[in-house]
Amino acid sequence: MDTIGKKTDPPNEPDEQDLIDRDLASPQFVSYSAVNQARNLRDVVKTLPELREMLPKAELALNLLIELDNAIDYHAG
């Protein structure tokens, strides 16, 4: 094959997304991420009793918002 005078492609340089993907796949990042997720999960589990107490109030508020939205739609339509 004659390559004289033919344009050759430059070597593939990693773009920004390639570098980000490589960093996200690194063992250090995966380990750091796993530790952070475990800490977040621990914090959520600690707050579960409080969240259980708030659930009925949140459901009531949601139902009131739905009724308000329906009333607005009814009067606007």
| 7 in any annotated domain | no
Tokens for 16? 């920004």
Q: How many domains does the chain have?
A: 1
Q: Where are the alpha helices (DSSP H) in the chain?
A: 16-25, 27-76
Say if pTM beats, i.e. exceeds, 0.85.
no
CA distance 65 to 24: 40
For residue 66, CA distances in Å to 28, 55, 58, 74 come to 46, 16, 12, 12
Q: State the residue range of the domain holding 57.
A: 27-76
Domain-embedded: residue 20: no
Note down pLDDT in tens along the chain; length 77 residues.
Answer: 555 656 665 567 777 777 777 776 777 777 777 888 888 888 888 899 988 899 999 999 999 999 999 999 888 87
**18 lies in a domain?**
no
Residue 17 within a domain: no
The span from the CA of 45 to the CA of 41, in Å, is 6
